[in-house]
Amino acid sequence: MKTFDLKASARQALSKKQAAEMRKNEQVPCTIYGNGDNVLFTVEKAALKNLIYTPSAYLVNIDIEGKKELGVMREQQFHPVSDEILHIDFYRVDASKPIAIDIPVVLKGSAEGVKKGGKLQQAIRKVRVSALSKDLPDTLEVDITSLDLGKTIFVGDVNFANVNILTPKSAAICAVKMTRAAMGAAASAAAANAPAAAKKK
What pLDDT does residue 61 have? 97
**Domain-embedded: residue 187:** no
- My answer on whether 21 and 82 are in the same domain is yes
What pLDDT does residue 121 have? 96
Nearest alpha carbon to residue 79 among 7, 18, 23: 23
- Number of separate domains in the chain: 2
Residue 18 confidence (pLDDT) above 90: no
Instruction: Give the neighbor-by-neighbor strand order of the sheet with 152-154.
Output: 119-122, 172-177, 152-154
What pTM does this model have? 0.81
**Domain-embedded: residue 135:** yes
**CATH number of the domain encompassing residue 7:** 2.40.240.10
- My answer on whether 108 and 74 are in the same domain is no
- My answer on whether 89 and 163 are in the same domain is no
What residues make up the domain containing 149? 100-181
Last residue of a domain, one of 58, 75, 94: 94
**Domain-embedded: residue 126:** yes
Nearest alpha carbon to residue 147 among 173, 129, 186: 173
Mean pLDDT for 157-179 is: 95
What pLDDT does residue 9 have? 94
**Domain-embedded: residue 188:** no
Express each pLDDT in 69-81 by its tens digit.
Answer: 999 999 999 989 9
- My answer on whether 40 and 110 are in the same domain is no
Pairing of strands 119-122, 99-108: unpaired
What pLDDT does residue 13 have? 83
Express each pLDDT in 66-112 by its tens digit.
Answer: 999 999 999 999 989 988 899 999 999 999 999 999 999 999 999 99
**Domain-embedded: residue 191:** no
What pLDDT does residue 86 have? 92
